[in-house]
Amino acid sequence: IEQFITSWLLKHQQYALMIVPLIAFLEACVGIGLFVSGVILLSVCTILYVEQIATLSQILSLAFFGAVLGDHSGYYFGRWLGPRFYHTRFAQKRIDSLEKAEKRILKYGNFAILFGRLITAIRSIVPLLTGVSGMPRLRYSAYDVLACGIWTAGLGLLIVGIDKIWN
Mind spelling out the 3-state secondary structure of 56-73? HHHHHHHHHHHHHHHHHH
Instruction: Please state the rounded mean pLDDT for residues 20-49.
Output: 89
**Which range marks the domain in which residue 113 is found?**
2-166
pLDDT grade for 141, boundaries at 50, 70 and 90 = very high
Least confident among 32-46, 68-82, 146-160: 32-46
The pLDDT score that the predictor gives to residue 127 is 92
CA angle 155, 31, 96 (to 5 degrees): 110
pLDDT grade for 132, boundaries at 50, 70 and 90 = confident
CA 65 remoteness from chain centre: 10
Structural domains counted in the chain: 1
The pLDDT score that the predictor gives to residue 142 is 96
Give the Cα separation of 115 and 122 in Å (integer). Answer: 9
Q: CA of 51: how far to CAs of 29, 91, 154, 166, in Å?
A: 28, 44, 20, 11
Instruction: Write out pLDDT tens, residues 46-99.
Output: 989 998 999 999 999 999 999 999 999 999 999 998 878 778 887 888 888 777
Task: Tell me the DSSP string of 112-146.
Answer: HHHHHHH-GGGTTTHHHHHHHHT--HHHHHHHHHH
The pLDDT score that the predictor gives to residue 1 is 62
